[in-house]
Structure 1
Amino acid sequence: MIDLGILIYIDDNSTMYQEFDWIYKSWIYSGNWRTSDLIAVCHPDAIDKLPSNDPGLVKMVAEPMAVPGSRWEGYKFINSIGCLSGPHTDALVGKYTWLLRTDADVFLTANLVNFRPSVVVQGRGNYAHPEGSEVWTKMAEFCAANGVRHGGVFGCGSSLMAKSELVLHLLRRQLFWSEKLQDHFKEYGPGTWPGWFAGVITMYAAEIAANENYDTYLRYAYHRILDMESMLPYPIDSLVMHIHAVPTDEHFSKSQYRQGAYQNTDLRTLDRSKINHYAHWIAATPLDQIKREVGYPF
């Protein structure tokens, strides 16, 4: 039974096509194609560049928000939030009981196939360093200045899994707070990473949107379950359902991979039972080989 929609945004650039390849191959290899659909909301020029004739890949078109002359010019990350909210996705509530909103640069595992939570599932937010207390102070000050509750949960993850209506509601609120934060940073200045920084507005906005509805999204939620970091050398245990590719000096790093650091690796030496090796193997293995290995029918 298909009762989960995995909701992502795909922009029209080579990086995004590579990242789509990762999540698509992992969706097939892990067996998630049997119980979920992969919903790709696409830039108009991207939709025909994704696989066709796959019934589990649902493609929708949405015009990007980060275009020249718009308030979001130069901030492409808003597309992965704003383009997932609107009439084109509102109808998903009637089709899927659950939605998983995530980025494309992730690797799904077999543990997600039958996982259907009774409460909200939050990810692992890495948009501020734990020692970066400035961010938490500024976040609390921003919320107080805007009259919004902050329940004290910092670092909510970039991914969210919940009943469909809850995911779509949070996306709407995330877009609202992104706009408020953008106005704030116009006065404050862009800031610098890893401090209070305009470059991660959408991540801050997700934290605010979750905290303003603390009882729904945080009080009884499963915290830091999604977005397991791709460089972790640990076994894929029963709680590892979703691995997020990160830029790091450790293996597996998406930035190192793109620079060719692993091009001489013999894929047969990778242990797919480990987080970092699984991510590497999925990223580097051709789609046709993965389809053959698992007997994918499409």
Structure 2
Amino acid sequence: MMLSIVRNNSKRLFFLLNVFLFILNSIILFHQQSIQTCVNTSDSHLTTRQNDIGNNDYTPRLHQPLTSLILRGLLVFYPQSQEEEYLPELLWFYRSWLEMMQQEPFIWRTDLIIYTEKYTLPLQQLGCIYNRIRINKGELPQCRVFPYQTLDFRNGTDEIDKTNMYLYQQFDKNRSMSLMEYTKKYPYIDSINIIAECYPSFAMYDYILRTDIDVFLTKNFGHFVPHKDALLVGKGGYSTAFSARRLTRIAKDMNWMHANITNIGSTWYGPPHIAQRIANFSLEAVLHLSMNEFTLPERQGRLGDVLWPEWHFGVLSMYGTHLAVNHLIVAENIRIGLATTLLDQNTDTKDLYDIEKNNHLHLHCWHTFEPFSKSLFKDGRYNHINPSTLMNDTSASGYAMRLALESRLMSFGGLRQALLTSKSLPNS
């Protein structure tokens, strides 16, 4: 009896292994075809500028209009359905927003704008106002929550809800249905879609920061804006020689231009209309990639990280943004600055002078187990640290650690009160 069970289990394992190898081999063959088609692109008709420009041609420039009234919005998608996971990140981002405003010119206004499914109790306790756009330039900084209908919960057979609840969301039903079909297992598409669909809620700002939640604003963000209305993009980590060639070939397939820049980060800082333009083109590229460049098992997440870093569905939005930005730089001459030392900077750097000397504006939690690590923070591994001991630690690691610990120790009411008094007196 036992021998029969062992034989049956062995047969099942052997069968499953063969199925997996068959799927993997099919995908490898699929991508090998892409290798063959993306090798000879240097003589393509993409653009005459393709071969004589690169990342170095887009050095970001900043300026400090200290006497002008500047309106800025910090835009994030907050997955309320996963609030337990993302609330700690929102709290430390909120705390860094307060810290940044201590260095901001008194007449500037920077709002935190959260797009989410529900106006939850934590958001209410933080003092976030609901479904109200900024209509007064002199209004104090606010945390604003706007209802956002995520792609997961849109019904393809019914009209998308257009009640007063979604006053500031412009639904694109056809694109929504396509995104639902081809990116159903991709969890990050809403963070781009909010920029494409929710323009009426942030059109009044001079500059917006489109960012993930697991970030920290530095004090430098308090007094710098992009020069001459350029849009700055942060530092990415998705590009290899293979993926760069492949994306260039895909741009040709789409009849898009390509400026030959790589590793474009997830954070954008610039004028709202440029950000929305990039978002719309990014979503178009995401759909093309999903339908033509990834197999069904990849789209369904069955392979995990097997093909990373050469070609990976898990960074689909990064590939889409890559294609959009490269195209728009050439086709529409939009101003782009590659802010690879300003935005999306690591949180594990120990150099005490790094933030100041390199004008880091924004720190992003990359995957690391060195402090500061978001996963270790959430596991309580830093709970023994007193944040007051880090007051003089100006490194990215120390700064992120202090603000995260303070956000955990402060009550929601304490954070709310700090917001209410953030512009009560001019900065000294």
* Same fold, TM-score > 0.5, yes or no: yes
Deviations 1:50-83 (A, max 9, x none): 1235651111111111359832322111111113
Partner of residue 49, structure 1: 122
1:31 pairs with 2:101 = yes
Deviation larger for 264-273 or 143-152: 264-273
Deviation larger for 17-26 or 32-41: 32-41
Partner of residue 211, structure 2: 102
Q: Out of 269, 278, 302, which is 1:170 matched to? A: 278
Q: Distance in 2 between matches of 1:294 and 1:46?
A: 21
Equivalent position amino acid for 2:202 in 1: L
Q: Relative to structure 1, is the Cα distance of residues 57 and 272 closer, same or farther in structure 2, using a 3 angstrom cutoff?
A: farther
Q: What TM-score results when the alignment is normalised by the length of structure 2?
A: 0.62
Deviations 1:82-112 (A, max 9, x none): 13321x323522x111111111111011111
Name the SS for the 2:209 alignment partner.
strand
Q: Relative to structure 1, is the Cα distance of residues 198 and 295 closer, same or farther in structure 2, using a 3 angstrom cutoff?
A: closer
Deviation at 1:259, TM superposition (A): 2.7
CA contact (8 A) 2:235 2:338 kept: no
Q: What TM-score results when the alignment is normalised by the length of structure 1?
A: 0.87
- CA RMSD, Structure 1 to Structure 2 (Å): 2.8
Name the SS for the 2:356 alignment partner.
coil
The count of aligned residue pairs is: 292
Equivalent position amino acid for 1:3 in 2: L
CA contact (8 A) 2:127 2:416 kept: no
Which residues in structure 2 correspond to 1:32-181 (within 5 Å)? 35-43=109-117, 45-50=118-123, 51-52=126-127, 56-67=142-153, 70-71=180-181, 72-86=183-197, 88-93=198-203, 95-117=204-226, 118=228, 119-128=230-239, 132-181=240-289
Deviations 1:193-249 (A, max 9, x none): 112111110011111111001246776524312111111222321511111112212
CA contact (8 A) 1:175 1:205 kept: yes
Q: Out of 233, 236, 245, which is 2:365 matched to? A: 245
Q: Out of 204, 209, 213, which is 2:319 matched to? A: 204
Q: Out of 388, 394, 399, which is 1:278 matched to? A: 399
Q: Relative to structure 1, is the Cα distance of residues 165 and 292 closer, same or farther in structure 2, using a 3 angstrom cutoff?
A: closer
Name the SS for the 1:193 alignment partner.
coil
CA contact (8 A) 2:128 2:144 kept: no
Deviations 1:161-186 (A, max 9, x none): 11111111111111111111111244
Partner of residue 389, structure 2: 269
Q: Distance in 2 between matches of 1:246 and 1:23?
A: 15
Q: Distance in 1 between matches of 2:416 and 2:110?
A: 20
Deviation larger for 47-56 or 286-295: 286-295
Name the SS for the 1:261 alignment partner.
coil
Task: Mark the structure with the bigger radius of gyration.
Answer: 2
Q: Distance in 2 between matches of 1:79 and 1:261?
A: 31
Higher strand share goes to which structure?
1
Q: Distance in 2 between matches of 1:164 and 1:135?
A: 29
CA contact (8 A) 2:70 2:206 kept: no
Partner of residue 4, structure 2: none
Q: Distance in 2 between matches of 1:207 and 1:108?
A: 24
Partner of residue 213, structure 1: 328
What are the ranges of 5 or more consecutive residues in structure 1 without an aligned counterpart? Answer: none
Q: Distance in 2 between matches of 1:218 and 1:264?
A: 48
Q: Relative to structure 1, is the Cα distance of residues 288 and 269 closer, same or farther in structure 2, using a 3 angstrom cutoff?
A: same
Higher helix share goes to which structure?
2
Equivalent position amino acid for 2:150 in 1: P
Q: Out of 63, 66, 87, which is 1:17 matched to? A: 87
Deviations 1:238-281 (A, max 9, x none): 51111111221222111222233323223233244111111111
Q: Out of 281, 292, 309, which is 1:194 matched to? A: 309
Deviation at 1:48, TM superposition (A): 4.6
Q: Relative to structure 1, is the Cα distance of residues 259 and 68 closer, same or farther in structure 2, using a 3 angstrom cutoff?
A: farther
Q: Out of 410, 416, 422, which is 1:287 matched to? A: 410
CA contact (8 A) 2:195 2:279 kept: yes
